[in-house]
């Protein structure tokens, strides 16, 4: 009797998950008991020297795509990725394309093993997710990422700014303290996981905010070594510059829902995806909310595609019950 009740309860949970998935995405799952796979793509900060070199040396398709990327960018990014110093990789024009290339080329190298039910990317990683899911071509994706990096770099130079990580405060408290600073730009930028929120703003605003966060009981309020206030109103010039390029790029319907940073929902409509990509530059990355929605819609495993393991760690802090892994050939 107990086993029958357990089975009935499981069926009810799965039915509710499937209903939620249909409501959010307009798509049906194939099987009531289907274990839904999510693939996630990291953003800036995951780079390391040597990234992608094994793919280049062992997978013919990967080598072809890396060489194509060198031609598109107009410089040998592979030299920097494979042999460059940490400082070389920190250059904005290098970092974003490098992480994008490692992620997308790894996804393409997986072949039949890359069969996502849903995908998401953290900030820059959203571009990787869209290309991997077929929403745009490899060439168009790389061109947009390169333009995004250059536009963000210009915005950073025009308005010196930075970011800080706040640990062990609730999201609501961080939001409240940011809103209390009226004379500087300071906003929540990355909702990474419960108890870890990154804020973004002017230099003076970040200094003032960090002081308030510590007074309110934050375990840490640590300024980050980044080029500027990403995902804040200070990126408005970059948003304006990138908007035209995104609108001019051909987007297709992806092979699965893409959970976007701005809406946190699974999106499949090309025009909606475009609009959200534009908004992303000045809006917060709602990673915690996105992962929770993916789980609510049926995701039982998350595979990180790209350099590092940061997203696996964040996902485990959001929900320790789900499976996490790194993509591997």
Strands 258-259 vs 266-267: parallel, antiparallel or unpaired = antiparallel
**SS3 category, 266:** strand
Q: How confident is the model at residue 227 (pLDDT cuts 50, 70, 90)?
A: confident
User: Which residues of the chain form CATH 3.40.366.10?
Assistant: 35-156+234-326
pLDDT in tens, 258-275: 999 999 999 999 999 999
Q: How confident is the model at residue 9 (pLDDT cuts 50, 70, 90)?
A: very low
- Token look-up 């790194």 returns 326
Task: Tell me the fold of 35-156+234-326.
Answer: Malonyl-Coenzyme A Acyl Carrier Protein; domain 2 (3.40.366)
- Taking every pair of Cα atoms in the chain, the longest distance, rounded to a whole number of angstroms, is 69
Mark whether 102 is an active-site residue.
no
Q: 74-91: b or e for each residue (b if 16 or more CB lie within 10 Å)? A: eeebbebbbebeeebbbe
- The confidence score (pLDDT) of residue 60 equals 97
Q: In whole angstroms, how far apart are CA 20 and each of 61, 104, 251?
A: 38, 29, 26
List, in sequence order, every residue forming a beta bridge with 303; answer none if it has no partner: 39, 325
**Which residue is catalytic, options 102, 103, 122, 123?**
123
Counting Cβ atoms within 10 Å, is residue 150 exposed (0-12), middle (13-18) or buried (19+)?
middle
Contacts of 208 (CB under 8 A, 6+ apart): 181, 184, 186
Model confidence at 179: pLDDT above 60: yes
**Which residue is catalytic, options 103, 146, 231, 232?**
231
- The confidence score (pLDDT) of residue 91 equals 80
pTM of the model: 0.90
What's the whole-number mean pLDDT along residues 216-242?
94
Model confidence at 192: pLDDT above 50: yes
Contacts of 189 (CB under 8 A, 6+ apart): 163, 198, 199, 200, 229, 230, 231, 232, 284, 285
User: Which residues of the chain form CATH 3.30.70.250?
Assistant: 160-228
Q: How many CB atoms lie within 10 A of CB 308?
A: 18
What's the whole-number mean pLDDT along residues 201-214?
97
pLDDT in tens, 96-109: 999 999 999 999 99
Mark whether 180 is an active-site residue.
no
- Token look-up 């410089």 returns 75
What's the whole-number mean pLDDT along residues 145-156?
94
Please state, rounded to an integer, the average pLDDT across all residues of the chain.
91
**Where does 160-228 sit in CATH, by number?**
3.30.70.250
pLDDT in tens, 14-43: 455 555 555 555 555 544 446 899 999 999
Q: How confident is the model at residue 11 (pLDDT cuts 50, 70, 90)?
A: very low
Tokens of 197: 């929120």
């Amino acid at each position: 009797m107990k086993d029958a009740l357990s089975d009935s309860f499981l069926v009810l949970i799965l039915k509710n998950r499937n209903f939620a998935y249909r409501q959010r995405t307009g798509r049906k799952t194939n099987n009531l008991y289907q274990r839904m796979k999510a693939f996630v793509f990291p953003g800036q900060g995951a780079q390391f020297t040597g990234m992608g070199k094994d793919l280049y040396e062992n997978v013919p398709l990967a080598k072809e795509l890396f060489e194509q990327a060198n031609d598109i960018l107009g410089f040998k990014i592979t030299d920097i990725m494979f042999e460059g110093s940490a400082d070389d990789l920190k250059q904005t024009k290098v970092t974003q394309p490098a992480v994008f290339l490692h992620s997308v080329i790894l996804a393409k190298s997986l072949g039949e093993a890359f069969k996502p039910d849903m995908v998401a990317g953290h900030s820059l990683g959203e571009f990787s997710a869209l290309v991997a899911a077929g929403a745009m071509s490899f060439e168009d994706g790389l061109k947009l990422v390169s333009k995004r990096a250059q536009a963000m770099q210009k915005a950073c130079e025009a308005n010196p700014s930075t970011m800080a990580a706040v640990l062990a405060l609730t999201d609501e408290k961080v939001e409240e303290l940011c809103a209390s600073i009226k004379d500087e730009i300071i906003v929540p930028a990355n909702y990474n996981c419960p108890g870890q929120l990154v804020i973004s703003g002017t230099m003076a605003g970040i200094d003032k905010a960090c002081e308030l966060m510590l007074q309110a009981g934050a375990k840490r309020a640590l300024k980050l070594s980044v080029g500027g206030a990403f995902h804040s109103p200070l990126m408005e010039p970059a948003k304006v510059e990138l908007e035209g390029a995104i609108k001019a790029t051909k987007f297709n319907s992806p092979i699965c829902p893409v959970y976007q940073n701005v809406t946190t929902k699974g999106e499949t409509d090309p025009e909606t995806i475009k609009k959200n990509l534009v908004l992303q530059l000045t809006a917060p990355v709602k990673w915690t909310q996105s992962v929770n929605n993916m789980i609510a819609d049926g995701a039982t495993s998350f595979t990180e595609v790209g350099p590092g393991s940061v997203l696996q760690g964040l996902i485990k802090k959001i929900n320790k019950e789900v499976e996490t892994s790194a993509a591997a050939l």
